[in-house]
Homo-oligomer: A and B are copies of this chain.
Amino acid sequence: MKTDWIDITAEPLDAGEVHNFLYRSEGGGVCVFAGTTRRITGNKSTEYLSYESHISMALKEMQALSNKAREQWPLLRTVLLHRIGDVKVGQPSVLIGVASAHRSPAFDAARFLIDELKKSVQIWKQEHYSNQTTEWVQTEWPDEPAEGT
């Protein structure tokens, strides 16, 4: 039985399925984070975000993050799902979830996973604004060197 559900998909993300995957008889605390496309950032109005990924690397990196989380906290299951393609305002592009026996590690591990995913997983997003312009979101590498560099 697989205890990590890791995927990059062009399909809508189903939070109900994620919860069902995380509800375990050994567990007591489930924390799920969803990142959704926000209409307003700064003074610009977004219609949708378009994501692309180096999928094979991204899946390996997501698995590595799950492994790191499991080293730090006693987790029963983890979920890391990310969409590629277009994600409209108000829809989730990313779902992170963990199940643990207690709530404290569930919150801490979910927070760790989304923070780290944003730093290291090989996914890029492009803003599609209401005025028909587009823009690739510019970021910087975090200060700590990534693995292998």
Q: A: which residues have CB within 8 A of B?
A: 14-16, 18-19, 22-40, 89-92, 101, 103, 106-107, 110-111, 114
Would A39 and B19 count as touching, CB distance under 8 A?
A: no
Would B31 and A32 count as touching, CB distance under 8 A?
A: yes
* A and B contact pairs by CB, cutoff 8 A, 19 listed: A15-B32, A16-B16, A22-B34, A24-B36, A25-B38, A25-B39, A25-B90, A26-B39, A27-B38, A28-B38, A29-B36, A30-B34, A30-B35, A31-B34, A32-B33, A33-B106, A38-B101, A103-B111, A107-B111
Selected from B32, B89, B91, B103, the residue in CB contact (under 8 A) with A114 is B103
Which chain B residues lie closer than 8 Å to A92 at the CB level?
19, 23, 30
Which chain B residues lie closer than 8 Å to A114 at the CB level?
103
